[in-house]
Amino acid sequence: MKIHIPTPLRAYTGGQETITLAAQNVGGALVALTTEFPALRQHLLTPEGKTRSFVNLYLNDDDVRYLPEKDDSPVSDSDELTIIPSIAGGCCL
């Protein structure tokens, strides 16, 4: 499958935007990704190993959090996983 890396995290993938790897499910893809690029780990996961709250994971067009099987959702070579940190803010406190 393909994993798309957002601009700030490409510093940890040797500048690559798209990583192609083989995995059975979403969780497996993340393990494979952070095994290949260990420096990514602390940016994606909390010290307890959970995905950081502001990191959105989309399998094709679906938020992984809302998939029935979440991290266990099966993936195939044609699937795309996008890592996208949130964009938000606002003025005055």
Partner 1 sequence: MLHIEYVHYEALRAHGEETYPHECCGVLLGRSLAGVNHVREIVRAGNTRTDSAHNRYNIAPQELIKIQRQARTAGLDIVGFYHSHPDHPAQWSTTDFAEAHWIGCSYVITSTDHGRAITTNSFLLAGTTEEDKRFEDESIEIEIAQPQASEIQPGVTEITIHGDPA
Q: How many residues bind partner 1 (CB under 8 A)?
A: 26
CB 15 within 8 A of CB 54: no
Q: How far apart are CA 2 and CA 55, in angstroms?
A: 17
CB of 37 to partner 1, least distance (A): 15
Closest separation in Å from C-beta 55 to Zn ion: 21
14-73 positions binding partner 1, by CB under 8 A: 17, 42-43, 52, 54-56, 58, 61, 63
Which of partner 1, Zn ion, none does residue 82 bind to, with CB < 5 to 8 Å depending on kind?
partner 1
CB proximity list for 18: less than 8 A, separation 6 or greater: 2, 3, 4, 5
Which part of the chain contacts partner 1 (CB under 8 A), choosing from 1-9, 23-31, 68-76? 1-9
Sheet of 80-85: strand order equals 18-20, 2-4, 80-85, 55-59, 62-63
Write down the least CB distance from residue 34 to partner 1, Å: 15
